Amino acid sequence: MDRHEDASRLQRTRKIQELNDRLRKTGIGGRIVLTRAVAAMGAPELTDLLRMVREFDTFTSSNDPWGEHDFGEVVIDGERYFWKIDAYDLNLEYGSPDAADEGVTCRVITIMTAMDL
């Protein structure tokens, strides 16, 4: 692989990362899905969980091997919660043909309990 391909791949990864972070931090640029267990949480607990997901910045090679900021775990009072961002086509039927292109991608962040996995 030459330098041009490496630079192009890095640019694409950074764009995906930027779009994923925007959805996670602001709710803009996609859809937010809560599993049934998360949706049933009390308002204060849910508010704390959503804040922690927004503020998450502990990306490592273990939880973010592709550098796209598409997965994370937060712990509240000893309970583990996960969030995952998936990139679909605009009809939400298949994977996106290009996750770096907002024009052909609908991002979905799912927030779940460890038991939902």
In this structure, what DSSP letter does residue 68 have?
Answer: S
**Residue 7's pLDDT band (boundaries 50, 70, 90)?**
confident
pLDDT tens digits along 51-106: 999 999 999 999 999 999 999 999 999 999 999 999 999 999 999 999 999 999 99
For the chain, the domains span 3-116
Please report which confidence band the pLDDT of residue 1 belongs to, taking 50, 70 and 90 as the band edges.
low
Do 100 and 92 contact (CB within 8 A), yes or no? no
Whose CA is closest to 55, among 76, 34, 39? Answer: 76
